[in-house]
Chain A
Amino acid sequence: MTAGATTRPDTSRVVVTGMGAISALGNDAATHWSALREGCSGIAGLVHPRISELRVHVAAQVHGFHPEAHFDERLLALLDRVSQFAIIASKQAVAASGWSPHGTPASRIAVVVGTGVGGETSRDDECRKLYADGAARVHPFSIVRAMASAPASQVAMAHGATGPVFAVSSACASSNHAIAQAALMIRSGIADVAIAGGAEACLSFSVLKAWEAMRVLADDTCRPFCQQRRGLVLAEGAGMFVLESLAHAKGRGATPIAELAGVGMSSDAGDIVAPSASGAAAAMRAALASAGLAPTDIDHINAHGTGTPSNDVTETQAIRETFGRHADRIAVTSTKSMHGHALGAAGALELVAVLCAMRDGVVPPTANFLSRDDACDLDVVTGLARPMAIRAALSNSFAFGGLNAVLALTATSG
């Protein structure tokens, strides 16, 4: 099955050995997964100090998170919420992997973190002080909190990574593009280990207003692939992973969760918002080719599945274009129905779902599903989670601006 992947030497095969997450569903990967598996949605009433001035009233926010319990006062002053999420998820991932960064030359450790906008709530706060309150100056840490690369730098500092470290920004595909860059660096021999994923925490007043203006937000909940879907639901959170070469994992006796066998990327080069089925299909085909997989090897797809009228129809067409008749044999789900659309963190929160689905042999349902839309005629898992063995899976991210990134995962036989 994994002919292309398994013919590569162990030094250029990439496995995932640890994962961490913080989301509306829970403040660690196990809680996040447990809720997904049960079909529990984290979408709830938006909590915001200026809620009365907003039309958006639902979101998937991180609650019960106390940063002061995780960071000392001096460090906390430097951290926007997005960096806090990234560091916390990365520490979970490293702990779960059983890997000690001290056991690997620091220059062989990479960090790549995807984020749509970086330290947005810090930027919004300081702009409010400046423009609305008439303040004469802003906080001296404004830049280091807000810069889009702050989460990557902070994760690198937390783990002593001195290899390639950078941020990737491609809107809602940021996580998948970041994970892809990390995997390609390991494949090419630039790094042995990478801490990679995505983080987003951009539910500021100005960003919420901007999303309202786009008229793509659901006013009830997120219902991907469902006839009654009314749009996406904004979210926040982070997902981080320890990726390493199979040789490095074997060398320390680690058990991989799954192999990140391939990545596929494409650009629609068409419309700044309207998705293209051919662009999405090109990314899925590229991921299969990169992994050495045939379309018939894929048992499961964690769809981009935003719940907007156009995405879900276009993604259905793209899956059909890529898989032909085999599309009917693929269990498709959109976990955005539960963790919401965390934008630059979306792919990472979804990769946690894919890895756990493969590990546990169960596909989580698409929650909030009411009735089938004939234009989305895939085998969408609804209701209860579906127990099934998963040989290989894809995780799709298709961003505004036509930026597509797909990850291909294969089961490891140990």
Chain B
Amino acid sequence: MNTDVASRILDIVARQSGKDRAVVTTGMTLKELEVDSLEAIETVFEIEEAFGIQLADDQNRTGTDTLQDLIAAVEAALAHRDGPANSAHAA
């Protein structure tokens, strides 16, 4: 896991959820952070904007994936974006 990527994602999640950054950990879900479905979509959007990537449409649709799952999806999208087969359709 790229700690810089993870840290930036947790910063975004903390900001979006209005929670103290210290309580936001990779094992948590957006649901546990009391992020509703619309806020979850906005959070995914903020992450896409921050990293210049496109995540899957159903990324965290239920809010029950852990933040670690989200970090993994971002890392996969970054690898895809920066890989030889560059494509707009990542993750």
Contact = CB atoms under 8 A, between A and B. Distances in A.
B41 A214 contact: yes
Interface string A9-52: 00000000000000000000000000000000000000000000
Contact of B57 (A215, A272, A274, A310): A215
B21 interface: no
Given A55-B89, A213-B45, A215-B44, A273 B37 contact: yes
A377 interface: no
Interface string B44-58: 110000000010011
B37 A310 contact: yes
User: Chain B contact residues (Cβ within 8 angstroms of A): what range?
Assistant: 10 to 19
User: Chain A contact residues (Cβ within 8 angstroms of B): what range?
Assistant: 10 to 19
Nearest to A213: B45
A274 B58 contact: no
B19 interface: no
B50 to A, nearest CB: 15
A271 B38 contact: yes
Interface string A250-283: 0000000000000000000001111000000000
B23 to A, nearest CB: 25
Interface string A309-322: 11000000000000
Contacts of A215: 41, 44, 57-59, 61
10 A-B pairs with least C-beta separation: A215-B57, A273-B38, A215-B41, A274-B37, A214-B41, A213-B45, A219-B57, A272-B38, A309-B61, A273-B37
Interface of B: 36-38, 41, 44-45, 54, 57-59, 61-62, 89
Interface of A: 55, 212-215, 217, 219, 230-231, 271-274, 309-310
17 contacts: A55-B57, A55-B89, A212-B57, A213-B41, A213-B45, A214-B41, A215-B41, A215-B44, A215-B58, A215-B61, A217-B57, A231-B57, A272-B38, A273-B37, A274-B38, A309-B61, A309-B62
